[in-house]
């Protein structure tokens, strides 16, 4: 029996999130392997336009189920997915990462008594079913999960699935979906959305982190990290090691490590950081690790992807210019 997959696509002001597109693309491939199709579900206001639906076809959606409901809440999405499963019978529901994904996935799991995996970094099709993988124990082991029952719900880790258009685009046939909302789904009301608080981007959701350590030499040199982060554009932020936070060079909110935040951005650029294990455990899951340090014996060179032995104060400013140029091009 073919297995169809439903992917919830989070859209924000008309733009689908990268995580959603990433899992959609992955779902389209997996569905093909399972002999089924991947559909997308949108829940929104006027932003769920026909153009947006068509775009989802480029990422592999066979159909786009379009529904309407309050934005910014997880429970209406659960209701929508629930209704979609009743109507079309999906074997799997996949959600991108991002902060609502696990809520929606878990709420749906409770609704339908189905298994849910979160922080999934890879999904494979084996023997006619999907297997979800996630790292555990600080990235040192990968755990594999399978699903019993009629429905499996997979929530991806943010940034783990690359948003690339499907090799075979989907038809993206739009289907209007009526969603009876549960009374408790609307007892929460969003009063204000997307309030920006200062310039800080939560480092845990940044795609690029430029992290500074004692090797920067002085607190003023953190400006070099900030400039480089700006060059990388939106989604880039500055992080710091415990040593420099202790010394007062940078705020605690930016601290990465055993006693700070754990991050896994696509790019972690470590400037003047030695790479002691207390720091490493906070960032070793990063996609690409680039280290710049003038000490060739620094432990960070043992686990980075690209290590540059050199003077951060010289390299960072030039790199800032070069990155800005490459992005502008």
Could you say which residues in the range 77-116 bind another protein, by CB under 8 A?
78, 98-100, 102-107, 109-111, 113-116
Nearest to 144 by CA among 129, 162, 131: 131
Cβ closer to another protein: 53 or 292?
292
Q: In the range 5-44, which residues lie near another protein by CB under 8 A? A: 12, 17
Decide: 105 and 116 in contact? Cβ < 8 Å.
yes
- Find the binder of another protein among 45, 50, 89, 143 (CB under 8 A): 143
Stretch that binds another protein, among 26-34, 40-48, 57-65, 238-246 (CB under 8 A): 238-246
- Find the binder of another protein among 137, 178, 180, 220 (CB under 8 A): 137
User: Does residue 135 bind another protein (CB under 8 A)?
Assistant: yes
Q: In the range 241-280, which residues lie near another protein by CB under 8 A? A: 242-243, 245-246, 252, 255, 258-260, 266-267, 276-278
Nearest to 93 by CA among 173, 1, 8: 8
Binding mask 306-325 for another protein (x = CB under 8 A): xxxxxx--xx--xx--xx--
Calpha distance 77→181 (Å, rounded) = 9
Q: In the range 42-81, which residues lie near another protein by CB under 8 A? A: 72-75, 78
Calpha distance 73→191 (Å, rounded) = 12
Instruction: Report the C-alpha dihedral over residues 287, 292, 298, 302, rounded to 10 degrees.
Output: 30
Stretch that binds another protein, among 59-67, 85-93, 136-144, 170-178 (CB under 8 A): 136-144
Cβ closer to another protein: 50 or 234?
234
Cβ closer to another protein: 44 or 109?
109
Decide: 270 and 243 in contact? Cβ < 8 Å.
no
Measuring CA to CA, how many Å separate 24 from each of 39, 59, 64, 103? 8, 6, 11, 18
Stretch that binds another protein, among 45-53, 59-67, 85-93, 143-151 (CB under 8 A): 143-151
- Count of other CB atoms within 10 angstroms of residue 148: 9
SS3 220: helix
Radius of gyration for the chain, computed over Cα atoms and rounded to the nearest angstrom: 22
Min. distance of Cβ 63 from another protein in angstroms? 26
């Amino acid at each position: 029996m073919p297995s169809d997959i439903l992917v919830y696509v989070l859209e924000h002001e008309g733009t689908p999130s990268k995580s959603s597109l990433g899992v959609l693309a992955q779902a389209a491939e997996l569905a093909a392997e399972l002999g089924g199709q991947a559909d997308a579900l949108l829940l929104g206001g006027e932003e769920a336009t026909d153009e947006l639906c068509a775009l989802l076809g480029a990422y592999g959606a066979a159909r786009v189920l379009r529904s309407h409901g309050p934005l910014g809440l997880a429970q209406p999405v659960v209701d929508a997915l629930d209704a979609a499963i009743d109507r079309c019978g999906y074997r799997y529901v996949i959600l991108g990462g991002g902060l609502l994904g696990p809520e929606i996935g878990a709420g749906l799991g409770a609704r339908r008594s189905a298994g849910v995996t979160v922080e999934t970094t890879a999904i494979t099709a084996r023997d006619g079913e999907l297997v979800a993988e996630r790292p555990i124990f600080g990235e040192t082991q990968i755990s594999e999960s399978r699903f019993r029952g009629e429905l499996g719900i997979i929530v991806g880790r943010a940034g783990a699935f690359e948003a690339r258009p499907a090799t075979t685009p989907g038809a993206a046939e739009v289907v209007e979906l009526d969603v009876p909302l549960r009374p408790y789904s609307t007892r929460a009301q969003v009063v204000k959305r997307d309030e920006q608080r200062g310039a800080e981007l939560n480092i845990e959701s940044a795609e690029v982190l430029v992290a500074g350590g004692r090797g920067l030499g002085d607190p003023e040199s953190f400006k070099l990290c900030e400039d480089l982060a700006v060059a990388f554009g939106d989604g880039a932020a500055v992080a710091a090691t415990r040593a420099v936070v202790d010394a007062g060079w940078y705020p605690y909110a930016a601290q990465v490590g055993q006693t700070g935040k754990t991050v896994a951005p696509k790019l972690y650029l470590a400037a003047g950081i030695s790479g002691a294990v207390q720091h490493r455990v906070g960032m070793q899951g990063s996609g690409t690790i680039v280290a710049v340090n003038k000490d060739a014996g620094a432990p960070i060179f043992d686990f980075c992807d690209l290590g540059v032995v050199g003077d951060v104060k010289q390299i960072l400013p030039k790199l800032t210019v070069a990155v800005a140029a490459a992005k502008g091009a």
